[in-house]
């Protein structure tokens, strides 16, 4: 893929779900900045209060609601679902035309002009982020861009700008540090884990929560960077190609030679001198 990127300096989101109020200003800001169409939805078509029910070609981020009881009272917990902007993105590694790219600024970008629409990125992404334009005859993939155009100009992404309380944005190392600081300061408030620090080899979105991740709908994801799973097989390709090619060539050279010699001997035995070679 690309040249080495310093993942301590790439910009990352720190999303403190305990500070989220579920206002969904981030959803609106995302739609506005990316000029995404509205979706006609009704409440309770998904798993709970969230609306729209799922991320889609029109919705790059959404707040997932989880209602639970605490001290006998009903409470809400939230999860902001969005592209995780992995340090080593699976989508970028599997795309046959290299349409995805991890930028040195942090966001994983998508080049729609290259995309052939094979949907391998959707199969590969452990977080289920890339979505497809199912309604179109010649569809493309859509996903959160990390507001690369804004980040490049030194601005914060649209959702982080809008969010009043929960989203911080800055260099990844600082965000991780800040997260650990918050956990240390209020250990009773937070789950003592960061989601995104190690998931899929580390991502540019780091979550702090009060509830266990799986209860909020976070996916369980391997800690190993996903591209390494394919690369351990794919790196052998040139070697295998040469080995198979050369061993088969050698083998056939030997078998054919055996046959040629046999033929020549037969001819000699039958007493006919083969025509002289000229040249």
Partner 1 sequence: MTAARIIYREIKSYHNFVKFLIVLVSMAALASMIRFIFGLGVTTNLNDTFPWGLWISFDVVTAVPLAAGAFTLGAIVHCFHIKKLEPLVRPAIVTGFLGYSLVCVGLLLDLGQPQRGWHTMVYWNPHSPMFEVSMCIMAYTTVLFLEFLSPVCEKFGYHVPLRLLRTIEMPLVVAAASISTLHQSSLGTFFLIAVDKLHPLWYNPLLPLLFWVSAMCAGISIITVEASMSHKWMGQPDEGELLETLAKILPCVLGVYLTLRLVSLFTLTEGKLWDRPGLIALFVLEIAALVIPFVMLLSAKVRTHNRGRSTAAWLVIFGVVVNRFNVSMFGMEAPGTMYYPSIIESVVTIGIIAAHILFFVLIAKYFPIFEHHPETVDYSLPDHFHKTEKGHASGGGLGNEA
Least distance from partner 1 to the Cβ atom of residue 214, Å: 12
In this structure, which long-range contacts are made by residues 195-198, counting pairs with CB atoms below 8 Å and at least 24 apart in sequence? 196/84, 198/223
Q: Which of 96, 152, 164, 265 binds partner 1 (CB under 8 A)?
A: 96
The reply to whether 118 sits near partner 1 by the rule CB under 8 A is yes
Q: Which stretch binds partner 1 (CB under 8 A): 3-11, 60-68, 145-153, 248-256?
A: 248-256
The contacts of residue 168 (CB under 8 Å, 6+ apart) are 13, 14, 16, 160, 175, 178
Residues 161-200 vs partner 1: string with x where CB under 8 A?
Answer: ----------------------------------------
Q: Which of 186, 251, 265, 268 binds partner 1 (CB under 8 A)?
A: 251
The reply to whether 14 sits near partner 1 by the rule CB under 8 A is no
Residues 40-59 vs partner 1: string with x where CB under 8 A?
Answer: --------------xxx---
Which residues inside 252-271 make contact with partner 1, applying CB under 8 A? Answer: 252, 255-256, 258-260, 263-264, 267
Q: Which of 48, 132, 180, 183 binds partner 1 (CB under 8 A)?
A: 132
If we measure between CA atoms, which residue out of 5, 18, 4, 10 comes closest to residue 174? Answer: 10
Q: Which of 116, 164, 215, 268 binds partner 1 (CB under 8 A)?
A: 116
Q: Which one, 171 or 225, has the nearer CB to partner 1?
A: 225
Cα dihedral 59, 60, 61, 65 sign:
positive
> In Å, what is the CA distance from 11 to each residue of 4, 71, 108, 133, 252?
15, 38, 11, 28, 57
> In Å, what is the CA distance from 183 to each residue of 66, 153, 197, 237?
22, 32, 14, 46
Tell which phi-psi region holds residue 174, choosing left (phi > 0), alpha (psi between -120 and 50) or beta.
alpha
Residue 42's Cβ-count burial label (10 Å; 0-12, 13-18, 19+) is: exposed
Q: Which of 98, 164, 181, 265 binds partner 1 (CB under 8 A)?
A: 98
What is d(CA 60, CA 70) in angstroms, rounded to the nearest whole number?
31
The reply to whether 114 sits near partner 1 by the rule CB under 8 A is yes
Q: Which one, 94 or 211, has the nearer CB to partner 1?
A: 94
Q: Which of 43, 45, 231, 265 binds partner 1 (CB under 8 A)?
A: 231
Count the alpha carbons within 13 Å of 248 in the hemisphere toward its beta carbon. 6
The reply to whether 108 sits near partner 1 by the rule CB under 8 A is no
Which residues inside 200-229 make contact with partner 1, applying CB under 8 A? Answer: 219-222, 224, 226-227, 229
What is d(CA 100, CA 108) in angstroms, rounded to the nearest whole number?
7
> In Å, what is the CA distance from 278 to each residue of 54, 113, 275?
79, 60, 9
**Residue 102 DSSP code:** E
Site residues for partner 1 per CB under 8 A: 1, 54-56, 90, 93-99, 114-120, 122-124, 126, 128, 131-141, 219-222, 224, 226-227, 229-234, 237, 240-241, 244-245, 248-249, 251-252, 255-256, 258-260, 263-264, 267, 272, 274-277
């Amino acid at each position: 893929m690309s040249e080495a990127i310093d993942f301590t300096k790439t910009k990352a989101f720190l999303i403190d779900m305990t500070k989220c109020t579920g206002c969904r200003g981030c959803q609106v800001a995302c739609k506005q900045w990316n000029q995404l169409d509205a979706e006609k939805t009704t409440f309770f078509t998904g798993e709970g209060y969230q609306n729209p029910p799922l991320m889609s070609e029109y919705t790059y981020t959404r707040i997932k609601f989880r209602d639970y009881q605490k001290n006998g009272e009903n409470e809400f917990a939230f999860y902001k679902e969005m592209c995780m902007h992995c340090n080593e993105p699976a989508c970028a590694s599997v795309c046959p035309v290299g349409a995805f790219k991890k930028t040195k600024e942090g966001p994983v970008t998508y080049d729609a002009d290259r995309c052939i629409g094979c949907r391998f990125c959707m199969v590969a992404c452990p977080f289920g982020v890339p979505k497809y334009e199912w309604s179109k005859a010649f569809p493309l993939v859509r996903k959160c861009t990390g507001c690369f155009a804004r980040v490049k100009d030194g601005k914060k992404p649209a959702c982080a700008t809008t969010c009043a309380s929960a989203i911080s944005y800055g260099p990844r190392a600082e965000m991780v540090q800040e997260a650990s600081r918050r956990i240390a300061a209020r250990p009773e408030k937070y789950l003592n884990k960061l989601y995104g620090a190690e998931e899929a080899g580390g991502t540019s979105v780091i979550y702090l929560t009060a509830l266990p991740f799986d209860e909020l709908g976070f996916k369980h994801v391997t800690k190993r960077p996903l591209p390494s799973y394919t690369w351990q097989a794919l790196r052998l390709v040139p070697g295998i190609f040469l080995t198979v090619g050369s061993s088969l060539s050698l083998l056939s050279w030997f078998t054919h030679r055996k046959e040629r010699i046999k033929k020549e001997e037969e001819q000699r035995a039958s007493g006919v001198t083969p025509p002289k070679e000229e040249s």
